[in-house]
Amino acid sequence: MEIVINIDDETPLFSQLMEQIKKAVQSGNLSAGDSLPSIRQLANDLDLNNKTVAKAYRLLERDEVIVTRGYRGTFIHEQAKKNSDRDLNAWVALELTKTIDTLKHAGAMDSEIRIAFAEAMKKER
Amino acid sequence: MEIVINIDDETPLFSQLMEQIKKAVQSGNLSAGDSLPSIRQLANDLDLNNKTVAKAYRLLERDEVIVTRGYRGTFIHEQAKKNSDRDLNAWVALELTKTIDTLKHAGAMDSEIRIAFAEAMKKER
DNA sequence: ATATGTACCATTTGAAGTAAGGGTACAAGT
DNA sequence: ACTTGTACCCTTACTTCAAATGGTACATAT
C-alpha cells in the first residue's frame, strides 16, 4: 500500500493519514490481521514526526480500525472494514449542532454559548 | 442606586453591570417602571465605554429585566423581579455539559469536540 | 439643538487551543 | 542491543475569539 501526504493540503497531516488507512481498508488493500509499519518507521518514510503518526494510530485504535499490541506492532482490526465506515466526527458534529440550535432558539448569544462551552470543557475532566 | 465597577475584577465589566442591576431589582432598589440612566450617561458616570453599557443593556432587555423605548429612555421591565432570577447562562452551561458528557463517554477527544463545536457555530448562521 | 437607542466602521489586548515538531525515557519483549 | 507503543517534558506558528475602546452616523422624538 502507498500513502501520500500532501503538506500543502489544509487538512491536518494526522487526518490525511487516518483517511488513507481507512480507505485502504475499505478498498481491500488492507485486510484484518495485516501488520502496519511501526510508528517510527512510518514517520520516517513519510517524513513526519513520530507524534503525528502516533496521534493517527491512537485515534484509529479508538475507532477500532487498528489494534496495537505493544512491542509486537500494530495490526488491522478484525472488524476494521465495518468500523472504518463509522464516522465519530460526523456524529459529534450532529449532537453539537442540535444542542447549539436549541440554545440559539432560546436567545443565547454566540459569545455566551462559546464561554459556557469553554467552561464546560474545563470542568469536565 | 449606586453601581460600583471594579476594573481589577476578572469578571467582564458588562457582566458586573448586569449583575448589579439585577441585584438592585431583586432587593427592591429598582422597581418596575423605574427609569434608568441613558447609555451615554451611565457610561460617563462609571467611566466606561458606550458600547460596554450598551451591551449590558441589550442583554438585560433580552432577559426581560429592562425595556428600552427608543428616544424615551430605558426602564425596568414589568416582570423584572421575576425575570432577574432566571439565569440563561446557567441553563446554557447545563445543556452544553450534558451534550459534552455524552460525547466524551463515546470516546471523543477534547480536540475533536472543540473542532466540531467551532464548525457547528460557523455553520449555524 | 439636543437626547434617545442603535448600527455600523475600526483597533488593541489577551487568552486559549490546535497542529506539528524535538527530545528523553520507560517497560515489555525479541 | 534493538524495537515496540507510550508517556512525559517543552517549543513554535497559527488561528480564533472575547472584551473593551474609539469614532461616525442615523431616525425618532422633545
User: What does the pLDDT read at residue A123?
Assistant: 86
Confidence of residue B125 (pLDDT cuts 50, 70, 90): low
Judgement on whether residues B63 and B117 belong to the same structural domain of the protein: no
- Answer yes or no: do A17 and A63 share one domain: yes
Give domain status of residue A1, yes or no: no
Whole-number percent of chain A with pLDDT over 90: 95
Shared domain for A116 and A102, answered yes or no, is yes
- Quick one: B94 and B38 in the same domain? no
* Cβ neighbours of residue A27 closer than 8 Å, sequence gap 6 or more: none
Cα–Cα distance for residue pair A77/B35, rounded to 1 Å: 69
Helix (H, G, I), strand (E, B) or coil at A87: coil
**B70 and B41 in a common domain:** yes
Do A79 and A92 share a domain, yes or no? Answer: no
Would you say A75 and B55 are in contact if contact means Cβ atoms under 8 Å apart? no
How does residue A96 score in pLDDT terms, banded at 50, 70 and 90?
A: very high
Do A45 and A29 belong together in one domain?
yes
Q: Is the pLDDT of residue B45 over 70?
A: yes
Task: Report the DSSP pairing between strands A35-36 and B74-76.
Answer: unpaired
Q: How many domains does chain A have?
A: 2
Q: Do B53 and B96 belong to one domain?
A: no
Same domain, B74 and B103: no
The answer to whether residues B64 and B114 belong to one domain is no
| Strand D atom within 7 Å of A14 CB | no
Same domain assignment for residues A79 and A100 = no
Find residue A74's DSSP bridge partners. A36, A68
Judged against a pLDDT cut of 80, whether residue A124 lies above it is answered with no
- Name which of B93, B106, B115 is nearest A119 (Cβ-Cβ): B93
Instruction: Give the separation between CA A44 and CA A62, rounded to whole angstroms.
Output: 23
State residue A44's pLDDT score. Answer: 97
Residue range(s) defining the domain that contains residue B71:
13-83
What's the pLDDT score for residue A32?
97
Contact A75, A34 (CB under 8 A): yes
pLDDT of B1 over the 90 cut: no
Residue B8 has pLDDT above 80, yes or no: yes
Between the alpha carbon of residue B90 and those of residues A108, B11, B18, B59, B121, the distances in Å are 11, 16, 15, 15, 19
Please report whether residue B8 resides in a domain.
no
Nucleotide nearest to B71 (CA to C1'): C4
Q: CA-to-CA distance for B17 and B51, rounded, in angstroms? A: 12
Distance in angstroms, CA of B108 to C1' of C6?
A: 43
State the number of CA atoms in the 13 A half-sphere of B88 facing the CB.
25
The answer on pLDDT for A84 being more than 80 is: yes
pLDDT value at position B124? 73
* Spatial separation of the C-alpha atoms in residues A113 and A116, rounded to whole Å: 5
Look at the alpha carbons of B12, B14, B18, B23 in this order and tell me if their dihedral is positive or negative.
positive
Please write the tens of the pLDDT for every residue from A50-71. 999 999 999 999 999 999 999 9
pLDDT tens track for A7-46: 999 999 999 999 999 999 999 999 999 999 999 999 999 9
Find the CATH number of the domain harbouring A63.
1.10.10.10
Same domain? For B60 and B111 the reply is no
* Residue B12, CA distances (Å) to A117, B19, B57, B90, B122 in order: 17, 11, 14, 17, 24
Average pLDDT over residues B67-95: 96
Q: What is the mean pLDDT of chain A?
A: 96
Q: Do B92 and A114 touch (CB under 8 A)?
A: no
